[in-house]
């Protein structure tokens, strides 16, 4: 038994229960055994949370971990300009580079309060080795719960797509490799540390047949579906020119709306599209910092939430958002909603819901993750809020969301520490930094 006590607690349960000073008991099964106000009299290993806020661990719903190796490039480009600059570099990825980038990205995410992350990997160079295995090993080393997706691109430039032909796969080859990844890695159990989803990259890099077959494959195997959708005006124009419809109409046509689907971005959505996402239960991974960095626009999150669309937060790849800090994304989401809709458009607690239970819904893990409730997995974060940056903001949830990114005092995944006293529990930050720097140099030197 681990007992975290004397902490403010925001449970993020359906009633929004909070305890100004309370405790959480973690059982030996890695699940939450008790939550309450005041003191806990049970015996057990005690962790003093004085000066801290305890929340559910944050859930990252959109990322491309390999991009840690290509940060700081194409800094002033639109999405299409940025992609066409970076595709040739990504064509030289290999397992060692992806492993190092994933270690850095996941370590950094853990330090930012994330306990579960997805990854969307869609570049599989022919002689690059097993890049999916490399990032899965990196997640195991850090200790995070991991939902990697087997991505794919099969629409190269010669067929009217955006990526160069040498970074795309054959359609059937991509489908077979996706099913092999499910066979090898997917754990459907409620305690799963590793789940696979099916994730063709985007309408402008994937054929219609791959979209349709991917949806059939995912449903046959009972796994989730993910892709980029409605990120930019350029994509909207592409869809109108090539398919004669909007991105969401296209998604519906190829079988890609449903409560087993979550879409990255959803920035450019009209009222009809938002209503369709709501009616079908299709989720959205909101990535406000990436959308700002690429000047893509501001997602209509207020309207999405009003239509009961499951919305989670994503940092997106580190090459389109160099901060990649999920804790900081809470404030970015709040600010973005308010830039669009004024100060009533979102409050601190709604931002925290997006980063926790909203993300759990996107990943289909809402029964086991995303709130501090008895019986759920003990994926918990203890944020230190008694320093200069936060002291004096009496509302502790407001201090977390409105204040500067808070230090993670403790992060648990299934009751096991991944961060302790602001440092990674299972990996060395300096080593991760060195490995990522070497990967970055090797990739750029190989491309020069």
In whole angstroms, give the CA distance from residue 263 to residue 356. Answer: 17
Q: Provide, rounded to whole angstroms, the least separation between the CB of residue 172 and Zn ion.
A: 25
* Sole window of 183-191, 295-303, 315-323, 439-447 interacting with Zn ion (rule: CB under 5 A): 315-323
> Which of residues 315 and 377 has its CB atom nearest to Zn ion in the complex?
315
Q: Which residues pair with 226 in a beta bridge?
A: 262
* Sole window of 47-55, 99-107, 110-118, 312-320 interacting with Zn ion (rule: CB under 5 A): 312-320
> Which of residues 11 and 321 has its CB atom nearest to Zn ion in the complex?
321
Q: Provide, rounded to whole angstroms, the least separation between the CB of residue 82 and Zn ion.
A: 11
Instruction: Point out the residue whose Cβ comes nearest to Zn ion.
Output: 316
Q: Provide, rounded to whole angstroms, the least separation between the CB of residue 62 and Zn ion.
A: 6
- Give the phi and the psi of residue 35 in degrees, each rounded to 5: -140, 135
Dihedral sign for Cα atoms in the order 209, 212, 215, 221: negative
Q: Would you give the DSSP letter of residue 388? A: T
* Sole window of 18-26, 78-86, 309-317, 336-344 interacting with Zn ion (rule: CB under 5 A): 309-317
In whole angstroms, give the CA distance from residue 60 to residue 321. Answer: 14
> Which of residues 135 and 316 has its CB atom nearest to Zn ion in the complex?
316
Q: Which residues pair with 263 in a beta bridge?
A: 227, 284
Q: Provide, rounded to whole angstroms, the least separation between the CB of residue 132 and Zn ion.
A: 17
Q: Provide, rounded to whole angstroms, the least separation between the CB of residue 384 and Zn ion.
A: 31
> Which of residues 121 and 376 has its CB atom nearest to Zn ion in the complex?
121
Task: Output the furthest CA–CA distance in the chain (Å, rounded).
Answer: 69
Q: Provide, rounded to whole angstroms, the least separation between the CB of residue 45 and Zn ion.
A: 40
Q: Would you give the DSSP letter of residue 371? A: S
Q: Provide, rounded to whole angstroms, the least separation between the CB of residue 403 and Zn ion.
A: 28
Count residues near Zn ion (CB under 5 A). 1
Sequence-separated (6 or more) residues with CB below 8 Å from residue 284: 262, 263, 264, 265, 266, 277, 299, 304, 309, 310, 311, 312, 362
* Sole window of 31-39, 140-148, 310-318, 425-433 interacting with Zn ion (rule: CB under 5 A): 310-318
In whole angstroms, give the CA distance from residue 229 to residue 263. Answer: 6
Q: Provide, rounded to whole angstroms, the least separation between the CB of residue 202 and Zn ion.
A: 8
> Which of residues 119 and 316 has its CB atom nearest to Zn ion in the complex?
316
**CA angle centred on 174, ends 114 and 194, rounded to 5°:** 30
> Which of residues 18 and 316 has its CB atom nearest to Zn ion in the complex?
316
> Which of residues 235 and 350 has its CB atom nearest to Zn ion in the complex?
235
Which tokens go with 230?
A: 């409605």
Q: Provide, rounded to whole angstroms, the least separation between the CB of residue 385 and Zn ion.
A: 31
In whole angstroms, give the CA distance from residue 146 to residue 103. Answer: 12
How distant, in Å, are the alpha carbons of 153, 193, 207, 240, 447 from that of 157? 11, 37, 12, 18, 20
Q: What residues from 173 to 232 belong to the interface with Zn ion (CB under 5 A)?
A: none
Q: Could you give the string, one character per residue 264-303, with x where binding to Zn ion holds by CB under 5 A and - elsewhere? A: ----------------------------------------
Helix (H, G, I), strand (E, B) or coil at 139: helix
Q: Which residues pair with 46 in a beta bridge?
A: 3
> Which of residues 6 and 321 has its CB atom nearest to Zn ion in the complex?
321
Q: What residues from 125 to 154 belong to the interface with Zn ion (CB under 5 A)?
A: none
> Which of residues 267 and 408 has its CB atom nearest to Zn ion in the complex?
267
Which residues bind to Zn ion, rule: CB under 5 A?
316
């Amino acid at each position: 038994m681990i007992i975290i006590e004397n902490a403010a607690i925001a449970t993020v349960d359906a009633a929004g229960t909070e305890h100004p000073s309370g405790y959480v008991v973690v059982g030996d099964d890695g699940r939450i055994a008790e939550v309450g106000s005041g003191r806990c009299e049970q015996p057990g290993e005690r962790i003093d949370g004085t000066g801290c806020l305890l929340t559910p661990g944050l859930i990252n719903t959109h990322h491309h971990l390999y991009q840690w190796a290509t940060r700081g490039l194409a800094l002033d480009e639109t999405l299409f300009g940025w992609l066409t600059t970076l595709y040739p570099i990504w064509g030289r990825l290999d397992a060692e580079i992806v492993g190092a980038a994933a270690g850095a990205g996941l370590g950094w995410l853990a330090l930012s309060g994330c306990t579960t992350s997805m990854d969307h990997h869609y570049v599989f160079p022919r002689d690059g080795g097993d890049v999916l295995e490399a990032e899965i090993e990196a997640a195991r080393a850090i200790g995070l719960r991991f939902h990697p997706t087997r991505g794919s691109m099969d629409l190269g430039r010669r067929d009217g797509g955006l990526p160069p032909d040498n970074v795309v796969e054959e359609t059937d080859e991509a489908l077979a490799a996706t099913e092999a990844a499910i066979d090898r890695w997917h754990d459907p159990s409620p305690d799963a540390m590793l789940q696979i989803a099916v994730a063709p990259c985007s309408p402008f890099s994937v054929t219609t047949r791959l979209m349709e077959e991917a949806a059939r494959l995912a449903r046959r195997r009972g796994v989730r579906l993910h892709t980029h959708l409605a990120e930019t005006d350029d994509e909207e124009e592409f869809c109108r020119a090539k398919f004669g419809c909007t991105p969401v109409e296209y998604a519906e046509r190829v079988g890609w709306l449903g409560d087993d689907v979550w879409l990255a971005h959803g920035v450019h959505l009209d009222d009809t599209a938002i209503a369709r996402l709501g009616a079908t239960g299709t989720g959205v991974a909101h990535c406000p910092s990436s959308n700002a960095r690429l000047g893509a626009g501001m997602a209509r999150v207020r309207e999405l939430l009003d239509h009961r669309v499951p919305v989670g937060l994503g940092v997106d790849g580190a090459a389109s958002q160099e901060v990649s800090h999920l804790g900081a994304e809470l404030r970015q989401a709040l600010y973005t909603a308010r830039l669009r809709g004024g100060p009533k458009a979102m409050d601190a607690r709604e931002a925290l819901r997006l980063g926790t239970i909203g993300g759990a819904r996107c990943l289909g893990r809402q029964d086991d993750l995303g709130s501090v409730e008895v019986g759920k997995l003990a994926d918990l974060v203890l944020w230190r809020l008694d320093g200069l940056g936060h002291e004096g903001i009496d509302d502790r949830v407001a201090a977390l969301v409105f204040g500067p990114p808070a230090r993670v005092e403790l992060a648990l995944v299934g009751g096991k520490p991944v961060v302790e006293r602001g440092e990674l529990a299972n990996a060395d930050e300096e080593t991760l930094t060195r490995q990522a720097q070497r990967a970055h140099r090797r990739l750029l030197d190989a491309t020069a």
